[in-house]
């Protein structure tokens, strides 16, 4: 699938340190990343449903298969039947974070979608699109086909495919827009570093989310 990514080199949430090998990472560029399906006509969509929780992206399918799953929490991996599978948060791979800013996150995301011209509905079954909200709950997360994201909100798993791998650092916010009318395809992704790190201010998070939408003008219904 033909996709394009847009990187804006800004520092709304403060500096991120360290360069890593193996390609471009959000940590290296201190960027807000947005990526879309280039061939997608966003103007045909009218409604969306917003997830009611922040998804913890932790275990990947291979780790669940190896027995990494547990009895509490949730993660971004698929189980044997393709349903969401709970990780073991005692695992060193998984982290917990404060939920203090969650209300602000959802408010800013809903505002961004409203300004883009979408009507919010209460169920993903009634919507053209579903918008998943997630937190990177391990040392990193790749937006790639091998890192499936499963969420009970849409009752299925999706596999973002960007053509390139983007390494998203721990405690980042990820926004995943899914086409509910066409096989739950991921049509837009946004990754904002450090949102769930300690000391991050409400205003900084709101500005960063607003910027993710500002650098994605193709999302607008009436263009």
Most confident of 3-17, 22-36, 158-172: 158-172
Q: In terms of pLDDT, which residue wins out, 168 or 64?
A: 168
Flag whether 30 is in a domain: yes
* % of the chain with per-residue pLDDT over 70: 67
Q: Does 22 have pLDDT greater than 50?
A: no
Q: What angle do CA 177, 181, 184 make, to 5 degrees?
A: 50
| Res 1: pLDDT | 42
Flag whether 147 is in a domain: yes
Domain count, the chain: 1
* % of the chain with per-residue pLDDT over 90: 35
Most confident of 34-48, 117-131, 148-162: 117-131
Flag whether 31 is in a domain: yes
Q: What is the DSSP string of 90-112?
A: TSTT------TTHHHHHHHHHHH
Structural domain range at position 108: 3-17+26-217
Flag whether 223 is in a domain: no
Q: Does 40 have pLDDT greater than 70?
A: yes
| Res 139: pLDDT | 84
Q: Does 69 have pLDDT greater than 70?
A: no
- 101 DSSP β-pair partners: none
Residue with tokens 């709304």: 12
Flag whether 57 is in a domain: yes
Flag whether 94 is in a domain: yes
Please give the Cα distance from 36 to 3 (Å, whole number). 6
The CATH number given to whatever domain includes residue 87 is 3.30.160.670
Q: Does 17 have pLDDT greater than 70?
A: no
Flag whether 70 is in a domain: yes
Flag whether 77 is in a domain: yes
3-state secondary structure 152-213: CCCCEEECCCCCCCEEEECCCEEEEEEECCCCCEEEEEEEECCCCCCCCCHHHHHHHHHHHH
**Residue environment code for 165-198, b if the CB has 16+ CB neighbours within 10 A, otherwise e:** ebbbbbbbbbbbbbbbeeebbbbbbbbbbbbbbe
Q: For residue 92, what pLDDT band results from cuts at 50, 70 and 90?
A: low
């Amino acid at each position: 699938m033909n996709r394009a990514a847009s990187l804006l080199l800004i520092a709304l949430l403060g500096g991120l340190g360290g360069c890593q090998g193996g390609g471009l990472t959000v940590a290296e560029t201190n960027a807000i990343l947005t990526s879309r399906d280039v061939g997608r006509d966003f103007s045909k969509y009218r409604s969306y449903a917003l997830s009611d929780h922040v998804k913890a992206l932790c275990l990947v399918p291979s780790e669940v298969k190896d027995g990494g799953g547990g009895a509490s929490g949730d993660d971004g991996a698929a189980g044997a039947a393709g349903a969401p599978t709970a990780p073991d948060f005692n695992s060193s791979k998984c982290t917990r974070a404060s939920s203090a800013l969650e209300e602000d996150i959802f408010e800013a995301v809903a505002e961004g979608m409203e300004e883009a011209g979408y009507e919010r509905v209460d169920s993903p079954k009634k919507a053209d699109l579903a918008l998943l909200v997630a937190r990177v709950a391990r040392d990193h997360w790749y937006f790639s086909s091998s890192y499936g994201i499963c969420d009970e909100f849409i009752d299925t798993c999706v596999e973002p495919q960007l053509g390139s791998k983007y390494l998203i650092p721990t405690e980042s916010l990820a926004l995943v827009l899914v086409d509910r009318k066409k096989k739950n395809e991921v049509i837009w992704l946004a990754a904002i570093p450090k949102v769930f790190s300690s000391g991050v201010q409400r205003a900084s998070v709101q500005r960063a989310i607003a910027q993710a939408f500002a650098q994605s003008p193709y999302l607008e219904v009436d263009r």
